[in-house]
Amino acid sequence: MRIGRDDVLKIARLAELAVDEADLPKLVEQLDGIVAYVAQLDAVPAEGDIAPFVPGPESVAWRADEVRPQSLALPPGAMAPAFRNGFFVVPRRTGMDEA
């Protein structure tokens, strides 16, 4: 796949980036190089099951990945100047009601 000028402009528009006309050729070249490199990586044969790299000895067991609640060092009420009914109380900003 080749990346062209229109592709770069579309990507810039989607990312809400302003691209100078002078920088456009350089961006086209760079993005085209990146896509070409990914295509090269895609062409590398990967046969069989490849074990993932795990640092350290293989005898080290992984712990189970489970969600558990963690207790806080301080309860939220102790960290806030005002805490009521499980919520942080913040001062009302004047001028916000006008919008």
**Confidence label for 97 from pLDDT (cuts 50, 70 and 90):** low
Tokens of 57: 């000895």
3-class SS of residue 84: strand
pLDDT tens per residue, range 22-36: 999 999 999 999 999
**Confidence label for 10 from pLDDT (cuts 50, 70 and 90):** very high
Tokens of 55: 């640092």
Distance CA 39, CA 99 (A): 51
**Ramachandran angles phi, psi of 3, nearest 5°:** -100, 130
Tell me what pLDDT residue 71 has.
86
Tokens of 4: 């062209």
Closest C-alpha to 86, from 98, 74, 97, 77:
77
pLDDT tens per residue, range 34-74: 999 999 988 888 777 777 787 888 788 778 889 988 888 88
For the entire predicted model, the pTM comes to 0.46
Q: Kindly tell me if the per-residue pLDDT of 99 is higher than 60.
A: no
